[in-house]
Chain A
Amino acid sequence: MKIEEKDIKMWSIIGSRATFGIAALEIAKKNKNLITLTCDVSTSAGLDRYRKMLPDQYLDLGIAEQNMIGVAAGLASENFDVITTSFAPFQTMRCCEQIKVNIGYMKQNICMVGLASGLVLGPLGFTHCCIEDIGILRTIPGLNIISPADSLETVKALNETIESKKPTYIRLTGSSNNPMVYKKDYEFKIGKSITVNDGKNITIFSSGAMVYECIQVAKLIEQKNLSCKVVNMHTIKPLDTESIKLACQESDLIVSVEEHNIIGGLGSAIAEIKASIANSPKMLILGIKDIYSKGGSYNFLKNKHRLTPTLIVEDVLKNYKINNE
């Protein structure tokens, strides 16, 4: 698949959700075996063109996520490639046991896409924000979990997932005008993290729209004469354990930053690996501190939960200093 720089810019402007819709349509045009299932969210998922152009490869189940997962399993068992999508809470938690039995236990080839996860739907409240999906799905054996850093990575993750034929959850974060972590095409491999900023003293692991924020964090930290590596841990399961081992050897402080509850997410996944590495450095897990706060705009909530570059730098440096005193 050839990706032009103008496409990357356009995808960044429209955001990861609309980009997903475009990518799904492109894949489905070539792969006649692919069917996309939604629960009355075609517009929110950027799938309106897909729905009109490929009606035979599109199915709306109405507002009924449990049924959607079962139907997806029936299609997958007959060897169709299947994408399901809805807003992240409904795509993951409303039908969680269906995911366990139909996708986990039965190992069906289904790609679930959770729309607008994290804090971006803050004005709508925490019924629509999603800070639990990774924690819940990570406990289901055999399910891959990917959280793309930007719109381009959303396209790449979707393509790779469909080709992989493995049960997968893709978690979309960020809004429209989604900052670009990648301005050019690059190599994306499920399970292989990518260093997006080099450094040594501190290693920050992040995923989703927080990766871009963490690059800003690294720049601010570098102004204090410390070097800071930023790793885009786009795949949360299976986790790239080698990059964690390397960070333990190289850095004095490991940090995880995510738009997710600090319980159960990327930070927890890294800590589970780090726990068995002798003499490993201290780790700081940043995210939503196990609380349902009042809602508000995306920026308001990032600020409230200390997930802006300035506030992350404050927390990181405070911990780095304590660690090295």
Chain B
Amino acid sequence: MSETDKIHLNKILKFKKNLKKNILDMALHAGANSSHFGGALSILDIISVLYGFKMKIDKQNPMSENRDRFILSKGHACLAYYAALCEIGYIKKEDLKTFEKNDSNLLGHPVRNTNIGIEFSNGSLGMGLSIGIGVALSLKKKQKKNNIFVIMGDGECNEGSVWEALMAAPNFNLGNLNIIIDRNNFQQTGDNNLIMNLRNLKNKIESFGWNTTEIDGHNINKIYDYFKNIKNEDKPNALIANTIKGKGFSFSENNNAWHHSILSQELYDKALIEI
């Protein structure tokens, strides 16, 4: 590992720590409205590497022409997304308190608002990758080399529209398109394998014509290496990130009760110590 890598990794870890704090703050302010806590924490390491290192971002201008594009297809995991947008300065810290409040820009699923860097409304599952294909085609037409990153859930892969899109991306040779599937093995009411078994997801996607890689979605070094080396050539890139729902806090890890739950002041205080 080079010195530069070490600097990057340290920066990512610091970034992630701040995101964790932001997530806790929003979850606490959501109060009885609850928040999708577990699925946000399972993508935290990935989103930290993307927003803390990989993605081209202009901190002064969320819609800069030279930005990489990001789509949170599993829109319910927006705690992690808003946390990152706050850390890069697009969302004001005090606005995190408005999470899920009346008239807020920060609802429980992202609503398109380019002033704060949210380019797409999501929340209804299975729609983000199709949008990503449209954006990827656009950037190719504009002869731009920027990347598109789409984070999807494994439960989300139950949706038929996901497979329409998985089929289409390699058909159009969209090497600029990257998906990350958050394979936390849970969906709302339980175990993926018991509800709708995805079996060998990696083989399935590979057979559709994607470059596919499977890694531990909480190993920052591995996530960093992966994104540092991804290619933007002919084939789109799929990362299956094996993750743990609710990762990072003793009370929520691998506990599907935290799919959508209330963070009490007591648990918040406990969680702060665990950061």
Chain B residues near A70 (CB-CB < 8 A): 127-131, 133-134, 161, 165
CB of B52, distance to nearest CB on chain A (Å) = 25
Q: Is the interface of B mostly helix, strand, loop or mixed?
A: helix
CB of A58, distance to nearest CB on chain B (Å) = 12
Chain A residues near B123 (CB-CB < 8 A): 101
Chain A residues near B164 (CB-CB < 8 A): 64, 66-67
Tell me if B160 counts as interface (CB < 8 A to partner A): yes
Which of A74-82, A140-148, A228-236 forms part of the interface with chain B? A74-82
| Residue on B nearest A68 in the bound complex, by CB | B130
Tell me if A106 counts as interface (CB < 8 A to partner B): yes
Which of B137-145, B241-249, B263-271 forms part of the interface with chain A? B137-145
Tell me if B124 counts as interface (CB < 8 A to partner A): yes
A67 and B138 within 8 A (CB): no
Q: Which residues between 78 and 118 of chain A lie within 8 Å of chain B, taking CB atoms?
A: 78, 80, 97-98, 101-102, 105-107
A75 and B134 within 8 A (CB): yes
Interface membership of chain B positions 114-155, coded 1 if the CB is closer than 8 angstroms to chain A and 0 otherwise: 000001111110111111111111110110000000000000
A71-B121 contact, Cβ under 8 Å, with A61-B168, A106-B112: no
Q: How many A-B residue pairs have CB under 8 A?
A: 88
A297 to B135, CA, bound (A): 42
Chain B residues near A101 (CB-CB < 8 A): 121-124, 127
**Nearest 6 A/B pairs, CB to CB:** A74-B134, A70-B130, A78-B138, A67-B164, A64-B164, A71-B134
17 other contacts beyond A77-B131, A98-B161, with CB at 8 A cut-off? A64-B164, A66-B160, A66-B161, A66-B164, A67-B130, A67-B133, A69-B130, A70-B131, A70-B134, A70-B165, A73-B120, A73-B134, A74-B130, A75-B135, A98-B127, A101-B124, A106-B121
Chain A interface residues toward B at CB < 8 A: 56, 59, 61-62, 64, 66-78, 80, 97-98, 101-102, 105-107
